[in-house]
Amino acid sequence: MSVITDNSETHSARVPAAEHTLRILSYLAGRPAPVAASAIARDLELPRSTVYHLLATLAAHGFVLHLREDRRWGLGTSAFELSGGYARQQPLARLGRPLVAALSDRLGESAHLAVMSGGDVLYIVEERAPRRPALITDVGVRLPAHLTATGRAMLAALPREQVRALYPSAAAFPDRTGHGPRTPRELRELLREVRARGYATENSEVAEGLRSVGVAVADHTGWPVAAVAVTWPGDGGDEARLADAVAETAQTLESRLKR
């Protein structure tokens, strides 16, 4: 009987901890910026000691990020992985596939739909245009987000603290062709340009001689769950016209996700 009682007591102790943990993650996900632990404790009506203990555990597993200088907490890369995992489910691919196919047919260029997965993009829809150059992208392929148009479009829409967590130093910048940002400062400048322009570009940074434009797709909270892109040979193509078409497709997909 004592064994049963002990298990019951352990279970009872774990349930509130699990509930508090989920409440903290949901709370952070709904904030526009990182917040202080004291604000979490106050708003969720939890003891500060409980909040600090749970935040420390979540931080150890990458689910939250502690900005020590600001004394604030935000979502970490592991939480981002979970959101990316949800975004990769079949509904997104099912909604996006006909739109990406129509975009490819309209422009006569190859088009893609990708989601973030940590510091990579993962392609979930790929439409190859006939008589166009072969691509290294395909469904299930991962590429460094900072080198791709889809990745840059999504990174530009993320909170800056999240980008800093993904790219804390020069060691976080793998290279493919010798082009592209190599430091956090270079990436910050590139993402400023993406925000100002309204779409992301990439030129020979994934494969020599190929260019891409990409636009992010946001969910109802404004979080970039995916991005649409078109790739074409670098010796031609009207970037602005292609970007307009990609943006139109991204907006259509975004509106369907929010229904």
Alpha helices in 89-238 (DSSP H): 90-107, 149-157, 160-166, 184-197
CA-based R_g, the chain, Å: 21
Least reliable range by pLDDT among 29-43, 76-90, 152-166: 76-90
pLDDT digits (tens, 9 = 90+) for 176-235: 888 999 999 999 999 999 999 999 999 999 988 899 999 999 988 788 989 999 999 977
Residues of the chain with CATH 3.30.450.40: 82-257
Residues of the chain with CATH 1.10.10.10: 2-75
Structure tokens at 185: 């400062």
User: What residues pair up with 126 in beta bridges, in sequence order?
Assistant: 112
What was the pLDDT predicted at 9? 41
In order of 39, 65, 118, 192, 228, the CA distances from 153 in angstroms are 31, 22, 15, 11, 9
Cβ-proximal residues to 54 (8 Å cutoff; 6+ apart), any chain: 17, 20, 21, 24
What was the pLDDT predicted at 254? 92
Select the highest-mean-pLDDT range: 17-26, 168-177, 195-204: 195-204
Q: In CATH, what number does 2-75 get?
A: 1.10.10.10
pTM exceeding the 0.75 threshold for the entire prediction: no
Question: According to the CATH classification, is domain 82-257 in 3.30.450.40?
Answer: yes
Instruction: Return the SS3 of 163.
Output: helix
- How far apart CA 150 and CA 216 sit, in angstroms, is 7
Percent of the chain with pLDDT over 70: 90
pLDDT at 6 > cutoff 50 = no
User: What residues pair up with 226 in beta bridges, in sequence order?
Assistant: 217
The one-character DSSP state at 170 is: G
Q: Which of 54-75 are b and which e, b meaning 16 or more Cβ less than 10 Å from the residue's Cβ?
A: bbeebeeebbbbbeeeeebbbb
